[in-house]
A and B are shown apart, each in its own frame.
Chain A
């Protein structure tokens, strides 16, 4: 409602706006132009400070030339490559977010408080019994005093003591699983939503320090958990003939090929028939791409496994080594990718999918029921297309975030070693460690900005096509 003269209204508005606008101009809009200006200069705190009064030189596009094809280009392109490599977890994470959202919204537990309480009591009773059973089964018996002194792999611990500790750990694990199940029944989807969201909430220095210890090659939880898996894989690679593995791999690849081709044909058909929206098509490609990547990876593992098992024997080792993770050139980047998926899979993307799922009109599912569609068909023909706008938004936001991300974890976990330096880390190094080259750092930041801007433009184009649907 407009009250008073335009002049007066502007004054009132200014009174409300001013505190924010001042900050906005001083720390967002102003620096934006400042940064652009800097990127065209040789500004560097080692050259231009209170002690040395050399004037700042305007160098036009020299910084950009150095980055893209000059002295800095080797570093820039390799760091851009690292950044893109670390982004391969994004599709996996998004697929995981959708999976979690589907599980959470599937109403697996009763919703009425009374039946919920009853079932929780039953679950608690089962959990207590299971925990007690594990405790009794894993408690070692001391037959005689001599047994207690039998030495183990550890000099100061007897075999009995080691068995007792492991039994205790198994009991604790069982108690934990039971506790999670009881809480899951009692609080329903809210409990799981909270548990899955916590990692992304806590993503920060303490979390990266935790993962650094999880990834320790010796004495880290990841390798301790992986050890039995790796051993079983080795055994299987030896026992099952090579032909069977390679047959499985070829089968997987063929299946992937058929699914991808069929999906693409269906997507193109949909696109040709009527303007079904670019988003649905892209969502389809995205889903197929993720599936294909997972299946291809599994296929490669199957194909290579027997040969690796044989090579491991001829090396004189009796099994596979567990990865060295953060201190290995091969595994440092995959380690960061895996951690990234763990951190992000239950985060904002999952919440967005939960909201998206609850917005799908039930009539669509009823229609699908009448058509006899169930399970996978319902998902492919109703759920996934309906979620296309959500998926699209998530893909774009994650890509933008991925281009900017990766600095904190690299600085804390690897120090940028083993090709884990990302673009933001590069900017940090240029501006705040080496030479305080603010000009060069700004130019890198603007190149990054340009890439993000281009992606957002694509987003708007396709997004508009989507909403006009």
Chain B
């Protein structure tokens, strides 16, 4: 993070050092506030059922019970839920990135009558609360016979005005002289899209991929109303039913929720420099 201004002022050396130490200590304490609940989650997930109520007073459980983790897999179809979540999120992400990239190309690179009007329409719908669309989409999916199916989970989420907008912003930063040169050399628009624009939009594609994947991995409302069968449940819905059926088994519940948090955490830490850019770029909307 470069903030040239924020630390330019330097007071007397000793006072400055003390202030910096104080600031750093504050950062560590705050980090503790953010990390603490996760540590507690690990501790509870390793406690026995009998120790759950007193582990907060003792600090650590008297004995460790890693079998809570295996119990998760025995009581609920955790692996199945995880598979569904990853499968649906990955499928949605793939469709959304491909269709958004193509549409963004049409909105940023091609000249055609009515382009800006259609784009304005896209922009206007970004403000619509998702819940407004939830009810009619549900009615449509039910009437198409896709209720309680993978297709019903995937298809309505596979197109996004936001993704189109985000990729268009990225594509607008690519100098148009590049594709003009390719066109003069006789390349088709499809070639320009695949060989010139797409490679240069890579950071944007990565950002949209992570956003969409994480968003769908956490997706709750739509799977909640659309899925009835246990074998189609995604992780959030599976965990919800775990809580309402075996809610008293707190250690297993914490073990399951901890395991559910691991994939997005890894994804985020691995790709965070792209994400941070994307969030800051996405702020242009609104």
Residues of A that sit less than 8 Å from B by CB: 1-3, 6, 9-10, 12-13, 16-17, 19-24, 26-32, 34-35, 38, 100, 102-109, 154, 157, 161-162, 165-166, 168-170, 172-173, 176-177, 180-181, 184, 189-190, 192-199, 201-207, 209-214, 218-221, 223-224, 342, 346, 348, 351-352, 354-355, 357-358, 360-362, 364-366, 369, 374, 378, 382-383, 390, 393, 396-397, 400, 403-404, 407-408, 411-412, 424, 427-428, 431-432, 438, 441-442, 445-446, 448-449, 452-453, 456, 459
**Residue in A28, A157, A181 whose beta carbon sits within 8 Å of that of B125 in the complex:** A28
Identity of the chain B residue whose Cβ is nearest the Cβ of A156 in the assembled complex: B62
B221 and A100 contacting across the interface, CB-CB below 8 Å = no
Contacts of B269 in A (CB 8 A): 194
Complex interface: chain B residues within 8 A of A100 (CB): 30
Bound complex: CA A363 to CA B88 (Å): 50
A357 to B6, CA, bound (A): 8
Q: Are A364 and B5 in contact (CB under 8 A)?
A: yes
Contact call A214/B9, Cβ cutoff below 8 A: no
- Alpha-carbon separation in the docked complex, A19 to B8 (Å): 51
A165 touches B59 (CB 8 A): yes
Q: How far is the CA of A170 from the CA of B130 in the complex (A)?
A: 46
* Best-buried of B58, B132, B240, B258 by chain A (most CB within 10 Å): B132
B132 adjacent to A105 (CB under 8 Å): no
A194, B272: Cβ atoms closer than 8 Å: yes
Q: Say whether B253 faces chain A, with CB atoms less than 8 Å apart.
A: yes
Q: Would you mind naming 21 contact pairs between A and B with Cβ atoms under 8 Å apart?
A: A3-B183, A9-B112, A16-B105, A21-B103, A32-B136, A106-B6, A107-B3, A108-B20, A172-B60, A198-B265, A201-B268, A210-B254, A219-B57, A224-B57, A351-B279, A357-B6, A403-B129, A404-B131, A427-B131, A448-B132, A449-B132
Q: Which of the residues B1, B4, B56, B239 comes within 8 Å of A193, measured between beta carbons?
A: B1
Given A9-B112, A201-B214: A32 in contact with B286 (beta carbons within 8 A): no
- Determine the interface band of chain B, counting residues with CB < 8 A from chain A: 35 or more
Enumerate chain B residues within 8 angstroms of A26, measured Cβ to Cβ: 140, 159
Q: Measured between alpha carbons, how far is A68 from B116 in the docked complex, in Å?
A: 38
* Residue B120, interface by CB 8 Å: no
> Once the chains are docked, how many angstroms separate the CA of A438 from the CA of B31?
45
A-B pairs with lowest CB-CB distance, top 6: A169-B59, A23-B159, A206-B257, A224-B56, A105-B3, A20-B103
Report the minimal beta-carbon distance from A447 to chain B, rounded to whole angstroms. 10
A365 to B72 CA separation, bound complex (whole angstroms): 56
**A38 pairs with B60, CB closer than 8 A:** no
Asked whether A445 lies within 8 Å of B103 as measured between CB atoms, the reply is no
Listed residue (A204, A220, A383) with the most chain B CB atoms within 10 angstroms of its CB: A204
Is the pair A358, B129 in contact by a Cβ cutoff of 8 Å? Answer: no
Q: Which residues of B contact A (CB under 8 A)?
A: 1-9, 11, 20, 23-24, 26-28, 30-41, 44, 52-62, 98-100, 102-103, 105-107, 110-113, 115, 118, 121-122, 125, 127-140, 155-156, 158-159, 161, 164, 176, 179-180, 183, 189, 193, 214, 217-218, 220-221, 225, 235-237, 239-240, 243, 250, 253-254, 256-258, 260-261, 264-265, 268-269, 272, 276, 279-280, 283, 286
Q: Which of B5, B176, B221, B286 has the most CB of A within 10 A?
A: B5
The answer to whether B103 touches A166 (Cβ under 8 A) is no
* Whole-angstrom CA separation of A203 from B56 in the bound complex: 23
Q: Which of A210, A224, A348 contacts B257 (CB 8 A)?
A: A210
> How far, in Å, is A55 (CB) from chain B's closest CB?
16
Q: Once the chains bind, are A362 and B5 in contact (CB under 8 Å)? A: yes
Q: Is the CB of A6 within 8 A of B57?
A: no
Cα distance, A365 to B6, chains bound together (Å): 8
Within 8 Å CB of A17, what residues of B?
A: 102-103, 106-107, 118
Contact of B243 among A27, A197, A209, A428 (CB under 8 A): A209
Q: How far is the CA of A212 from the CA of B138 in the complex (A)?
A: 30
C-alpha gap A351/B261 in the complex (Å): 21
Q: Which of A190, A198, A204 sits near B34, CB closer than 8 Å?
A: A198
Give Cα A216–Cα B217 distance, bound, in whole angstroms.
27
Q: Once the chains bind, are B7 and A180 in contact (CB under 8 Å)? A: no
Alpha-carbon distance A383/B3, docked complex (angstroms): 12
Cβ–Cβ < 8 Å partners of A107 in chain B: 3, 6-7
CB contacts (< 8 Å) of A105 on chain B: these are 1, 3, 6-7
What's the minimum C-beta distance from B262 to chain A, rounded to whole angstroms? 10
Decide yes or no: A162 and B58 within 8 Å by CB, A16-B103, A195-B34, A206-B257 being known contacts: yes
Distance A161 CA – B113 CA, assembled complex (angstroms): 79
Contact B176 A393, beta carbon cutoff 8 Å: no
Q: A357-B5, A362-B5, A446-B132 provided; 7 other pairs, C-beta below 8 A?
A: A10-B112, A35-B135, A106-B7, A168-B59, A362-B4, A404-B129, A452-B127
Give every chain A residue within 8 A of B129 (Cβ-Cβ).
403-404, 445, 448-449, 452
**Residue from A362, A378, A432 within 8 A of B225 (CB atoms):** A432
Q: Which residue of A lies closest to B214 (CB)?
A: A201
When C-beta atoms are compared, the residue in chain B nearest to A403 turns out to be B129
Nearest Cβ in chain A — how far from B29, in angstroms? 8
**Beta-carbon nearest neighbor of A2 in chain B:** B111
Query: Given the complex, which residues of A lie within 8 Å of B11, measured CB to CB?
Result: 374
Cβ contact within 8 Å between A103 and B27: yes
**In this complex, what residue of B is CB-closest to A348?**
B279
**A2-B111, A204-B236 known; A360+B34 contact, CB < 8 A:** no
| Closest chain A CB from B23 CB (angstroms) | 5
